[in-house]
Amino acid sequence: MGVVEFFAENPSQYMWQVFIPIGVWLLIVLGFFVLLLKKYTFGNWTEDKPNPYFGETFDMPRGVFRGTLTLTLVFVVTVLELVNVRIIGFEEEIHELMVAFQMMIAFYFGSKVMHHMTSTDRRKTEAIADHTPFYQSSQYLSGEFDDEGAAG
């Protein structure tokens, strides 16, 4: 039985299993962003007490959007996979979405790994040029990154 036939026979069951959990999730995320906008973007900041996240996206803490998007993708894929267990033939309908999700996760984590590797290689090369073992260098011991983007 395909998704079209399932819609025709059980439209309320499908809505309950897919659209309502995803809709509730999106409402929670929207509420979360409204609270963050109220607190950080439109907060009562003064010259004496400036926003510590000024210059970031919407003046919010770093990584809020990236983390929320990642959690949303994981939640949606989990809901779709749980529905896939109950509906025969649903996997063929969402196959392209699953491939796209896998590619997004692979490129996201792959790019982070490559960024950390190049940053570490550059610091190791500088330590070798200074004749200092890398694990004894001040950058290694302090945990500081050359580029703030490498922090995560």
Average pLDDT over residues 79-107: 82
Task: Tell which wins on pLDDT, 129 or 74.
Answer: 74
pLDDT at 137 over 90: no
Q: Which residues of 121-146 are buried (b: 16+ CB within 10 A; e: fewer)?
A: eebbeebeeeeeeeeeeebbeeeebe
Q: Per-residue pLDDT tens for 25-80?
A: 999 999 999 999 999 989 888 889 888 888 888 888 888 888 898 899 889 888 88
More confident call, 97 vs 78: 78
Of the ranges 47-61, 95-109, 111-125, which one carries the lowest mean pLDDT score?
Answer: 111-125
Give the pLDDT of residue 88.
Answer: 76
pTM: 0.60
